[in-house]
A and B are shown apart, each in its own frame.
Chain A
Amino acid sequence: MSILEIGDHLLDLVERVDIVFWPCVMDFKRHDVETMPGGYIDLCFVNGGIRNEENEDMVRLLRDRSSIMVAHGSCACEGGIPGLANLHSTDSLLDRLFGAGESTVNPSGTIPGPTNRTLEGEAVDLPGLLPGVRTLSQVVDVEYRMPGCPPDSIQTWSVLEAVLGGRLPPPGSVIGAGERCVCDECKLERNGVPVKRFVRPHHVVPDNTHCLLEQGIVCMGPATRSGCRAACISAGMPCRGCYGPPHGVADQGARMVALLGSLVDSRDPDEIRRILDDVVDPVGTFYRFGLPGSSLGRPRR
Chain B
Amino acid sequence: MKSGRLDPRVVSARTIRKDEVYLDAATRKFEPVILAFLCNWCSYSAADQAGCSRRSYPANVRIVRIMCTGRLDPGHVIEAFARGIDGVLVCGCHPGDCHYVDGNCKAAGRVWLLDRMLEQTGIEPGRLRIEWVSSTEAQRFAELAIEMTEQVRAMGPIRWPFSESAGTEARRGSR
Contacts and interface: CB of A to CB of B under 8 A. Distances in A.
Interface of A: 86-92, 131-132, 250-251, 253-255, 257-258, 260-262, 264, 266-269, 272-273, 275-276, 279, 281-284, 286, 292, 295-301
Contacts of A258: 73-75, 110
Contacts of A88: 171, 174-175
Query: Chain B: interface residue count, which band?
Result: 35 or more
A132 B162 contact: yes
Given A131-B168, A254-B74, A269-B95, A260 B162 contact: no
Top 9 closest A-B pairs, CB basis?
A: A261-B110, A254-B75, A261-B109, A254-B74, A257-B74, A89-B171, A300-B163, A269-B108, A89-B168
A283 B117 contact: yes
Contact of A257 (B105, B114, B163, B172): B114
Task: Say whether chain B's binding surface is mostly helix, strand, loop, or mixed.
Answer: helix
B108 to A, nearest CB: 4
Interface in B157-174: 160-165, 167-168, 171-172, 174
Contact of A283 (B75, B108, B120, B168): B120
17 contacts: A87-B121, A89-B171, A254-B74, A254-B77, A258-B75, A261-B109, A261-B110, A262-B70, A267-B95, A273-B112, A282-B116, A296-B82, A298-B162, A299-B162, A299-B164, A300-B163, A300-B165
A264 B171 CA distance: 33
Contacts of B83: 300-301
Contacts of B70: 262
Given A268-B95, A282-B120, A295-B75, A86 B113 contact: no
Contacts of A279: 113
B175 A92 contact: yes
A254 B76 CA distance: 9
A264 to B, nearest CB: 5
Contacts of A284: 120
B107 A257 contact: no
B117 A286 contact: yes
B2 interface: no
A257 B77 CA distance: 11
B113 to A, nearest CB: 5
B168 A91 contact: yes
Q: Which of A86, A88, A272, A279 has the most CB of B within 10 A?
A: A272
B51 interface: no
B175 A276 contact: no
B82 A298 contact: yes
Nearest to B122: A87
A296 B117 contact: yes
Contacts of A255: 74-75
Nearest to A275: B109
A286 B75 CA distance: 13
A266 B105 contact: yes
Contacts of B116: 282
B164 A276 contact: no
Given A267-B95, A267-B102, A282-B120, A254 B108 contact: no
Contacts of B102: 267
Most buried by B among A89, A255, A262: A89
Contact of B108 (A273, A281, A282, A296): A273
